[in-house]
Amino acid sequence: MRPKAAFFHDYPAADGDVFGKGRRERIAALTQLHPHVVSARNFDAQAARLADVEVIFASWGMIRFEERHFRALPKLKAVFYAAGNVKAFAQPLVERGIVLVSAWEANAIPVAEMCLSQILLSLRGYFRSVRRYRDLRTFEAKAFHRTGVNGETVGMIGMGKIGTLLTRLLASYPLKVIAHDPFLSAERATALGVERVALDQVFQRALVVCNHIPDLPSTKGALSARHFRAMRDGATFVNTGRGAQVVEADLAAVLRERPDLTALVDVTWPEPPPADSALWDLPNLVISPHIGGTVGDEVVRLADLVIAEFEAWTAGQPLQQQVTAEVLATMG
């Protein structure tokens, strides 16, 4: 018999319909589907009709379950989350033994793709030459050493889903990748073709440094002035991790001292920065409004992943993207 299921989400339509383009209909064919999408705003009105729900298909806006939610869904067995980070709501589910699957691997794809584009542009000196061109208005703007791609070094901080995928994307280019991650084993580094190094060495050796550290209390303020001051002439720092991992006042100070450096920042702390933050006005810092994640026509990849995992789960097959207590402890 098809399990009874419900959609739990509250995402804005402007970001794309995760369960659109036939995915909602696919789930309806695989389950006995509750007719209404559930969110924090209408949960109380829907609660009396959720008692038989065994499976939730969720996305952005998923409720963090409290006792009253669990009481309303006594038969809940699994949550398939068609989005990335589950830290905001996962703990109560995992503690109760409810299967939790995240589409974070699919959500890593656009972030890695954006970082790839930034790396390739940085290695050509694009960002530095653009701002020099605006000031000088002559071809003197590109009269500095621009190494290009061939044989250059890129540094990864954190080798989770995004760092790993980005490394694989870079494998088709004649680049050397060095990485710092305390959980990166020698065997895995060899398989990925990367060199394990200390954090300081990433900043000293790489022309482009990409931050993908998980967002944990232990990583807050992990990247400070001594790291940025150690960067090579013309180097670029890319942050798609989390803003709290960077001492942003230090980053701003070093960027003032070093106009040769470039910072490409998609995340800050807080988001957005205060109106008087130095990050807004630094000529060698490009700040974007956290656009690295999945949007638009990409979002259905998230649904495709959880549908595949749901089908494996119903068939009694191993899950590839389950979030266990051990996994949750390392998630950013």
Cα separation, 90 vs 110, whole angstroms: 23
This prediction has a pTM of 0.91
- 8 A C-beta contact, residue 240 and residue 111: yes
- pLDDT value of position 130: 98
Average pLDDT, the chain: 96
The CA-atom distances, in angstroms, between 20 and each of 15, 69, 82, 160, 297 are 12, 27, 12, 28, 9
- 8 A C-beta contact, residue 309 and residue 319: yes
- pLDDT value of position 295: 87
Tens digits of residue pLDDT in 269-307:
999 999 999 999 999 999 999 999 898 899 999 999 999
| Confidence band of 12 (pLDDT split at 50, 70, 90) | confident
Tens digits of residue pLDDT in 240-273:
999 999 999 999 999 999 999 999 999 999 999 9
DSSP per-residue letters across 92-113: HHHHTT-EEEE-HHHHHHHHHH
pLDDT over threshold 80, residue 15: no
Q: In the Cβ-directed half-sphere of 327, how many Cα atoms lie within 13 Å?
A: 18
Tens digits of residue pLDDT in 96-148:
999 999 999 999 999 999 999 999 999 999 999 999 999 999 999 999 999 99
The CA-atom distances, in angstroms, between 257 and each of 38, 67, 243, 331 are 51, 53, 21, 34
What is the CATH number assigned to the segment(s) 4-106+295-330?
Answer: 3.40.50.720
- pLDDT value of position 328: 85
- pLDDT value of position 332: 56
3-state class (DSSP) for residue 167: helix
Contacts of 275 (CB under 8 A, 6+ apart): none
Cα separation, 201 vs 231, whole angstroms: 9
Name the residue with tokens 């720092």.
Answer: 237
- 8 A C-beta contact, residue 99 and residue 321: no
Beta strand residue intervals within the chain, DSSP E: 4-8, 32-33, 55-58, 78-81, 99-102, 153-157, 176-180, 195-196, 208-211, 236-239, 262-265, 285-287
- pLDDT value of position 170: 98
Across the range 219-231, mean pLDDT stands at: 97
What is the CATH number assigned to the segment(s) 124-287?
Answer: 3.40.50.720
| Confidence band of 329 (pLDDT split at 50, 70, 90) | confident
Round to the nearest angstrom and report the end-to-end CA distance of the chain. Answer: 37
- pLDDT value of position 217: 85
Q: What percent of the chain has pLDDT over 70?
A: 99
Q: What percent of the chain has pLDDT over 90?
A: 91
Residues carrying CATH 3.40.50.720, the chain: 4-106+295-330, 124-287
- 8 A C-beta contact, residue 20 and residue 298: no
Tens digits of residue pLDDT in 307-316:
999 999 999 9
- pLDDT value of position 218: 86
Contacts of 15 (CB under 8 A, 6+ apart): 60, 295, 296, 299
